[in-house]
Structure 1
Amino acid sequence: MAIFRILIFLFFTAITFQALSQAELSTKSKKAIELYTVADNFRVRGQFEEAINLLSQALAKDRNFVEAYYRRGLTYFSLKQYANAKADYEMGLSLTSDLRKQKVFWYDLGELYLLSGDYEKAMKVLSAFINNESQNKPKLARATALFRSAEFASKNQSTKSYHRRELSDTVNRFVMQYFPVLTADQRQLIFTRRAGDGPNDDEDLMVSKKDDKGRWTAPESISKNINTPLNEGTCSISADGRRLIFTSCSGRDGIGSCDLYESIKEGDVWTTPKNLGRNVNTSEWESQPSLSADGRTLYFVSDRRAGVGRRDIWISTLDETNTWTKAVNAGNEINSLFDEISPFIHANDRTLYFASNGLPGFGGYDIFYAERDSAEWENPQNIGNLINDHEDQFSFFITADGKKGYYSHEETLPSGLSRSKIYEVQIPAENQVRFRSNYVKGIIRDKITKASLKASVELINIDRNKRVSLVESDSITGDYLMVLTQGAEYALYINKKGYLFKSFNFNYSGINDFEPIVINIDLEKATAGSMVVLNNVFFDLDKFDLKPKSIPELEKIIRFMRENQQVRVEISGHTDNSGQPTYNKQLSQKRALSVFHYLTQKGIDKDRLVPIGHGSDKPLASNDSEQGRQQNRRIEFRIIK
């Protein structure tokens, strides 16, 4: 990340004193000018120490050499040695009354003060630049953005902070580790490890798992099928830990400078990575992916030309044929004219976190979040200086339950080397995501043979009759995991061709706290005698009219009947033992008929349906408890032919 900041900084300082001829330099010393000129050949090649040495020699020849102070300050700035850069800039500014040169100092000092957390000074010099610059529109726009950040930071400082801690040396054992992501059950931590602090040092994806005592184990290579002697960079993983998207910049069948690749976990083995193709990757740079919980929506960063700013967030979705669709820009609601990086879509699929240096913040890259209830994103909000400060913040990850955050922080050591570590933070209740998530997980098996099954697991918001998520169970282990988010009532469907579907109901529309759920699911083959309880067919108390939120379940029945034209079924109504037996039988019969009439109106042949009311004659559980009585109040779907 430090290299990226240097490149951006050099971009904005390219047209500065370099445009001045030797006749316009503030010194007459030929030796100082010679040293100054040679120094810049080293600076532009990134040989900063050599450049500083030569510029210091030039200043020894002439202590009033304004341009040498600027270039040495610029070089210190590139090395993030802010105190030295500030001293040189301030000295150079004090020595000149040339407005052209003053504007250069004002502009760079403005960013330097902002990155140092000196917001009042930043506003002062940036205001001077803005009031005196009229020609350089890009720098004027950038200075205006920096001024807004300094003003925002000055007004929004807080003494509060998150309680944070470094992860143990068991995890933070490398020179660099960054971009942490976790599975929804918080049992696996995946991150990028770099062997050294150089941009060309080898990067690999590592995984650390929690042991029985809740401690992170020593990181291991995620897979020999993924890591190579070359570069495997930032990654994202689906909530169930079975779909991985990562960045690779060399050694593979790339389309551009860096591309995104996909690998699927089958049992304990990751498949050979595949390039996501030209709907996602271009001839430009693509990186920093973030997957939705079900692994079917991908957010990533690209510097392609069709964007809003220089680096933008883009979105692609997985269609019904498991093909990634043409990526679209996240739009002006998210992307600014500058850089948006490091997106993270929370497990709730409603809250997008990202880093930006183009929105008002505390300096450098700040973490922002935007929420949506439908298709539109609300205006991004700065997460505040509980996390953000005048340094760069990025790669922020929030757990599904909203209680913990993980991020990496890079610092420059006194030796000049960089070191990054992964941190965990406790997030206060008042700052947690508005819609928290948890999950249901388990194993899907054949009811008779107990063999693991690969089945689709579909989550429907039954109030909106809208699919929220779609995942598949592992073909080898049968494992599945589905994220559930506060604020809705859900129907969960398990579907496999040749088997009766199963349904479950989870009402989280008003729930404040909930725990993970484990449900192992046995599917019955669609043969005579097999039966399923319709858990998402609803009636009001003592009524037999179908409630609108029953429609998703009824559509499942219609689809099953159309796919299995030879099937004839019994639709049976059941009650608990409350009330008179005759009344119960009549009510259960009317409810079964309501389902019957709905299906026939949708085109299902009435001769294939047998509605019947059993009243309280066939209980599934004891009627001695409310839980048992609730189980007994049901509609069943049974194959009779």
Structure 2
Amino acid sequence: MKINKFYFLPVILIILIFKVSFVFAQDSKLPRILQHPDSVQIEAIEILNSESRETNLSVTPDGKYLFFMSSRGGESWSVSAGLYKNKPRFDGDIYFSKKDSTGKWTAAQNLKAINSSSGEDEPFVTQDGQQVVFQSWRRNWVAEGGPYYQAKAKGDSWTNMKGLGQGINIFFRREFSKYGGYATDGMSVSSDMNTFIIASGANYNGDMDLYWSKKDSTGKWSVCTEMPISTPKNERSIFLAADNKTVYFASDGYGGFGGLDIFKALLDENGNAIEIFNIGAPFNTDKDDYGFVLTASGEAAYFVREGNIFYADLINALPEIKPSPVLLLEGNIVGCDGNPIDAKVSLYDENDKEISVSFTNARNKGEYVLLISNPPKTKKSYKQIIETEKGFEQEPFFETKKIEIPTIKKYTKLELGKIQINDCKEEISKTTDLENIYFEFDSDKLNQSSIQLLENFIKIFNQDSNKKIILTGHTDSKGSDSYNKILSQKRLLSVQNFLESKGIDKSKIKITPKGEQNPAQTNATENGRSKNRRVEIRIE
């Protein structure tokens, strides 16, 4: 059949126009590429890089600690894993560096208490640098709740190593069984330790997707599910920022410069992208760029290019590259002798919900860091509870401090200063502590058990009636501060009135209402709260 060329030409033009329009429509859906000023510079961190491959970074929100995986080997357990850039490559180990007093990174240290011949990788470090989550395909990972584990710093070592287990372990057992093996390349955890995200797939050299798990109301991890921001192509190197809603990841499924590009996405609670950006040059090139992490201030970023760690000063970068503002609270815990001690510091909101936890020890000079990922839009009060593992005479020690948080519109770091725990023997040896009087919830009534204790106490006191009776009233954290102060006063009066009815002179009794300010146990559980509804009795 003869084709009329004058008829054929318009048809070709229509087809071309349609194709161009289709491509333009597709391209118009691609993320916007951020255009940063030329003043944004990057530089390799030579003190951390080696001839081998570094990857999978994790930085603390305050920018003091940087954790990463390196295949440099050199340890007794190191196993050869072929070549990288024509240099010997070994199974992965986790390394970390801490900034010195001048703000410079120190030489990388091998996390020897954790690393093994199993090839540890993908570290995530908590905001205080005292807990680390990591991957390890240990021989018994299925039974141990792996392949992701958590460990806590103890002095110069790491202890309490245990698998995250639950839905995370179920997911990996299922996928490993389905494919006869499984691979990952990047993991991150939210600052409140309630969200877990990984990049994973059937084959390390194939395409991967992003999956996540969340803790339910009982604190158990759900089975990992694919995130909506995954594409049919390749996603790697996930990082969840300190605000718990901004992620940075590498992908070749959203267009860009070529190879893997780094993207930023703001997520809703279901993992859908509210907005997504290609973070642009100089971070993205035609090579594979990945492993992007940044501090809570959004002013310092770190990423990986061709197996090396790079630093970028983001002060002059476009604001869109940064996550939402967060609030850091920093302080120090020391004992009565002025030396750092092991302690747990928890932060609770007005509804008694625990929103941040930090641990201290002598290695980090008693420093703690608490993080509020969603700072208040109006002035709010928070409760800071300090709990030592062992106080005077090996008993746990608790102290509560009320913290007023101002309205926060940008990244803020508040210095809370040094807190000294008064748990030394010489400070309380002049007093005799007796058994506490406990109360039911929201009650100031003495029960029969309390009456019996008070009658026994009177017999002891009458043996030396020249001393004073010190009564201190307490409540749990349910209710307002003012209400609990009044309730603790009522409980004191119940005890005082009983003692006076038994012949003890009022001048011998001193009462101090504390309300909820000095819990003996945590207020996070009913058992703990029941121990806080009390009147303490001392003879002095």
Shorter-chain TM-score: which interval? Answer: 0.5 to 0.7
CA 1:228–1:523 in 2, change beyond 3 Å: closer, same or farther?
A: same
Matched, 1:301 2:189: no
Whether the 8 Å contact between 2:48 and 2:107 is mirrored in structure 1 is yes
Q: 2:244 aligns with which of 333, 336, 349?
A: 349
Q: CA deviation at 1:266?
A: 0.8
Q: Which moved more, 1:232-241 or 1:436-445?
A: 436-445
Higher normalized contact order (CA 8 Å, seq sep 6+, divided by chain length):
2
Whether the 8 Å contact between 1:571 and 1:635 is mirrored in structure 2 is yes
Deviations 1:227-251 (Å, cap 9, x if unpaired)? 33452222211111111122334x5
Whether the 8 Å contact between 2:258 and 2:286 is mirrored in structure 1 is yes
SS in 2 for 1:481: strand
Matches within 5 A, 1:252-331: 252-255=139-142, 259-271=147-159, 273-277=161-165, 279-281=167-169, 282=172, 283=176, 284-295=182-193, 297-303=195-201, 311-317=209-215, 325-329=221-225, 331=227
SS in 1 for 2:494: helix
CA 1:492–1:162 in 2, change beyond 3 Å: closer, same or farther?
A: farther
Which position in structure 1 is the counterpart of 2:344? 456
CA 1:637–1:507 in 2, change beyond 3 Å: closer, same or farther?
A: closer
CA 1:374–1:607 in 2, change beyond 3 Å: closer, same or farther?
A: farther
**TM-score between both structures, scaled by the size of structure 2:** 0.61
Which position in structure 1 is the counterpart of 2:294? 398
SS in 1 for 2:412: coil
Q: CA deviation at 1:426?
A: 2.0
Query: What is the CA RMSD across the aligned residues, in angstroms?
Result: 4.8
Q: CA deviation at 1:314?
A: 1.4
Which position in structure 2 is the counterpart of 1:215? 104
Which position in structure 2 is the counterpart of 1:501? 399
Q: CA deviation at 1:312?
A: 2.2
* Counterparts of 2:187 and 2:31, CA distance in 1: 33
* Counterparts of 1:490 and 1:167, CA distance in 2: 43
Whether the 8 Å contact between 2:123 and 2:133 is mirrored in structure 1 is yes
Matched, 1:491 2:387: no
* Counterparts of 1:218 and 1:482, CA distance in 2: 27
Matches within 5 A, 1:150-549: 150-151=27-28, 156=33, 158=35, 160=37, 163-195=40-72, 196-197=83-84, 201-221=90-110, 223-229=111-117, 231-249=119-137, 252-255=139-142, 259-271=147-159, 273-277=161-165, 279-281=167-169, 282=172, 283=176, 284-295=182-193, 297-303=195-201, 311-317=209-215, 325-329=221-225, 331-332=227-228, 334-359=229-254, 361-371=256-266, 377-386=272-281, 387-410=283-306, 420-427=308-315, 428=317, 430-431=319-320, 433-447=322-336, 453-462=341-350, 466-474=353-361, 478-485=366-373, 487-488=375-376, 489=380, 491-496=382-387, 498-512=396-410, 514-523=412-421
Give unmatched runs, 5+ long, in structure 2.
1-15, 73-82, 177-181, 388-394, 429-440, 454-469, 498-513, 519-534
CA 1:316–1:252 in 2, change beyond 3 Å: closer, same or farther?
A: farther
Matches within 5 A, 1:554-569: 569=472
Whether the 8 Å contact between 2:185 and 2:236 is mirrored in structure 1 is no
Deviations 1:239-277 (Å, cap 9, x if unpaired)? 11111122334x543349x93233221111123754433
Give unmatched runs, 5+ long, in structure 1.
1-123, 132-143, 411-418, 531-556, 573-590, 611-633
Whether the 8 Å contact between 1:163 and 1:426 is mirrored in structure 2 is yes
Letter of the 2:52 partner, please give it: V
Letter of the 1:164 partner, please give it: Q
**Percent of pairs with identical residues:** 20
* Counterparts of 1:172 and 1:393, CA distance in 2: 16
* Counterparts of 1:609 and 1:290, CA distance in 2: 55
Q: CA deviation at 1:392?
A: 3.2
Q: CA deviation at 1:390?
A: 4.5
Whether the 8 Å contact between 2:57 and 2:68 is mirrored in structure 1 is yes
Between structure 1 and structure 2, the one with the greater Rg is 1
SS in 2 for 1:431: helix
Structure with the higher fraction of residues in strand conformation: 2
Letter of the 2:302 partner, please give it: Y
Q: CA deviation at 1:385?
A: 1.8
CA 1:155–1:214 in 2, change beyond 3 Å: closer, same or farther?
A: closer
* Counterparts of 2:325 and 2:333, CA distance in 1: 26
Aligned residues: 412
